[in-house]
Chains A and B, each alone.
Chain A
Amino acid sequence: MASSRPSDHFDSPAPDKAINQPKLGVIGYLRFFWRQLTSMRTALFLLLLLAFAAVPGSLVPQVTSDPNGVIQYKAANPGLSKVLDFFQIFDTYSSIWFSAIYLLLFISLIGCVVPRTKHHLESLRTKPPKTPARLERLTGFTSTVAEPLEADEVQDAVASAHKLLKRSGYRTRLFTQSGPADGATAMSVSAERGYLRETGNLVFHGALVGILIAVGFGSGFSYTGQKVIVEGQSFTNVLGNYDSFNPGRFFSDSELVPYSIQLDKFTAKYEETNIKAYGQPIDYTADVTTDVPGGEGKSTQTIKVNSPLRIGGTDAYLLGNGYAPWITVRDGEGNVAFSQPVAFLPQDANLTSVGVVKVPDALPEQLGLQGFFYPTVCDTTVCTGALTSVHPDLLDPTLTLQVYTGNLGLDKGVPTSAFALNTDKLTEVAGTKAATPSLLLKVGDTVDLPNGLGSVTFDSVKRFISLDVHHDPTQLWVLGFAVLVLAGLLTGLFVPRRRVWVKAVETEDGVRFEYAGLARGEDPGLEAAIADIAKKHSQHLGLKLSR
């Protein structure tokens, strides 16, 4: 036991200070450093360093969890941001220095756990140690009053103690020893239990390594993608269909199962009775029809915020929703150049939303529209200034649009966002900077564009959802290891490891039975356990415990 733990473990023998260290060779130095790295002190230092190193990442927005926050932060603190950037503070948890700390910690952990595991496997096979000559000074020492007993009675009594301990889960061994002083023989049972404690501890530390490895692999093989789907539309799981896609390092297209998800209906419920929370969302439900190739045909399912859709090896989460006004654009020649629902991105809790329409096929000139959608526009008799939405539900849906003409730049082969319109090279024909003001439409309205450019119709409003599709093949592994961490922790902390001895000692007046134990690690219940064994055994023999 002592040799398996780091030499500065509390249970290890104190180091001899007086040793003259022989000169260390290269191997000697390596061994020295390894011993330092796998010491308890280093583990403790690295743990505390890890806790400390995690703090800055909570003070400054992180690229992974809050990219917009990072942009805002950098704009607000340009000078400081340069320094922070240099130290990778915006990426704390994948930074070189943070990684270095936890990798060192895990190397230390492996270096610590491997020899202990080896030692533990051996100790599982070794028998309990010899009974100490004197039990008086051990924990919970108890003895019976001496009674004259025959030799075979003594043997039976020891055998019954043996059985009692065995039944209580101890590993046992019988000894016949010479007594301490007079050379008379003493029979004893040496018993040990609680190997599970060390097992639990090793499982705990091993499972931590498991989590680290699983997470590492997971980041390589997983992918996430986002897709906006309007009611009535469907999405097929192939790479080109995603609005954005983040593959892991080892991702390949062939991994995508080409299933499809059609959004039949999206329902949002908002609080209507509680005036304090009026308009607060209380439920989002997406009804979808799915079709997995090679599956059992189409099936209808629902997706909610806390219950993702598990489909084709991926999980689809309902992470966002909004409105998609159906907009029809007729061009100057009277042709329908555009007619479809357009997802407008929500900007606030009342779903004031912004969106963009690009009409490259309009004649004589390409058209670009950009504007706001208000599900419940604030009445102009109440609100002054810019329009806003005052309720997320569709009580008074209103659309405002600015209109541009010119080359939209869609034919250059440069990918452009569907949600942004670069107006630098366009001419504004309706809007704040043009002779014609912005268009304002209610559902069903059609407004003519100036200069005979055509017309815009606001046909209807549909809902859209934003789905996050994730694939992480190691997720269940991580969960499994996490469960092992917890199980290992419980056994490693709460299973007592102890040694117990029962001894028959011959004295002048007869035979006396002695009971004592030794805690190995934290074991507050040891005394009670010894007392219990002594009571049971002496009662069984009909002997009295001496006080």
Chain B
Amino acid sequence: MTGQLITLSLVAIWSAMAVYALAFIAFTIDLARRTAPASEDVVVRSAAADSALSYETMTEGSSSSGRGSTAVLERTAARVDGTLRSSKWTRIAMAFTVIAWILHVGGTVLRGLAAGRVPWANMFEFSLTATAIVVGVFLAVQFWQDLKFLGAYVVAFALLLLGLATVNFYVDVIPLPPALQSYWLVIHVFVASLGTGFFALGAGLSIAQLLQAGGSKRLKFLGTLPSAVTLENMAYRLIVVGFVFWTFTLIAGAIWAEHAWGRYWGWDTKEVWTFIIWVIFAGYIHARATRGWRGSRSASLAIIGFAAVIFNFTIVNLFFKGLHAYSGISM
């Protein structure tokens, strides 16, 4: 019975990967075919900036000139997006992504059923769950903003990690060692994955923002994306959500460490890296509020922060020694 579930789970995951690959191709074609609409948005943008400036000189405090213009810019973004009716390829790619995601979630759930517990107790299972959550966040966020242009990035990320997981991280279903038998495993790891999902999208937007600010002529699709400022604002909003989840992860991890190891903080390698990531993103939030650091500089911090998340998950888990040796892989 368990053996069948495990096989079924793997088949679902492999199928998901195949469909993700199709989705990736469709997203890439979509990006390649996109071309810029009229240059209307540039005009609107400068008008908005003007009005914000004149407001500043008009009111008593010069309180929030920047923020005022931010809000006005939001409208221009909406207008730009309005011209951006999703192409046939976007729709195909999204359909593939949804199908792949359903298979992916199914495979992950089957793995959990086979193990008789949550499917995130070793690195292989955690990869399945975390990527499912990253893609899930990507799909969910579409209801809030059209971020389909990040599809190629998100799907490529999921594919890579799933590939690594099935080929390099695979371990059999084995029971949990006593230290992992805790409901904190359920909460801590799940929320960490949610945070990772938001950080991933934030980093994707920040990369798009840097490209947009660089103003490359060769990447035609950039013309169809929102302005750098809009990308930055969207990235910020996603990353602060991620930051809240990450803060919770840190606290929940400390509580669990207290239960399992008798101390809530011990500068174990994994704890150190979770802390480093937290501080980088606190830095990012500060950079956004520091004159001279908005724009490309804070965007770089968002990307560095997400790189640290990936580093924490792959390199730290596999090669660093510590109490959190849960990869289930002996090197």
Contact = CB atoms under 8 A, between A and B. Distances in A.
Contact of A9 (B251, B261, B289, B321): B289
A41 B261 contact: no
B50 to A, nearest CB: 9
A251 to B, nearest CB: 16
Interface in B157-214: 172-179, 181-182, 184
Contacts of A224: 262-263
Interface string A207-242: 000000001000000001000000000000000000
Contacts of A51: 276, 279-280, 283
Given A271-B175, A305-B181, A58 B289 contact: no
A150 to B, nearest CB: 32
A527 B72 CA distance: 9
Given A139-B71, A306-B181, A522-B236, A282 B64 contact: no
Interface in B307-321: 316, 320-321
B71 A8 contact: no
Given A51-B280, A54-B276, A486-B247, A133 B293 contact: no
A2 B259 contact: no
Interface stretch (A63-71, A161-169, A351-359, A387-395): A63-71
Nearest to A3: B61
A129 B61 CA distance: 10
B70 interface: yes
Contacts of B240: 493-494
B273 interface: yes
Interface string A464-494: 0000101000010011001101100110011
Contacts of B267: 57, 62, 64-65, 92-93
A276 B259 contact: no
22 contacts: A1-B61, A10-B66, A11-B67, A47-B282, A48-B283, A51-B280, A58-B269, A58-B273, A65-B322, A137-B58, A138-B68, A277-B172, A306-B179, A475-B258, A489-B247, A494-B240, A519-B68, A521-B64, A522-B70, A524-B71, A524-B233, A526-B71
Given A44-B293, A58-B276, A58-B320, 10 more contacts: A2-B61, A58-B316, A64-B267, A134-B58, A271-B175, A282-B177, A475-B264, A482-B254, A489-B243, A524-B233
Nearest to A273: B175
A69 B321 contact: yes
B184 to A, nearest CB: 8
A479 B255 contact: yes
A44 B269 contact: no
A363 B322 CA distance: 48
Q: How would you classify the secondary structure of chain A's contact residues: helix, strand, loop or mixed?
A: mixed
Interface of A: 1-2, 8-14, 40-41, 43-44, 47-48, 50-51, 54-55, 57-59, 61-62, 64-66, 69, 92-93, 129-130, 132-134, 137-139, 215, 224, 271, 274, 276-277, 280-284, 304-308, 315, 317, 319, 468, 470, 475, 478-479, 482-483, 485-486, 489-490, 493-494, 518-524, 526-527
Q: How would you classify the secondary structure of chain B's contact residues: helix, strand, loop or mixed?
A: helix
Contacts of A307: 259
A315 B262 contact: yes
A74 B237 CA distance: 46
B272 A58 contact: yes
B262 A522 contact: no
B67 A280 contact: no
Contact of B178 (A14, A57, A306): A306
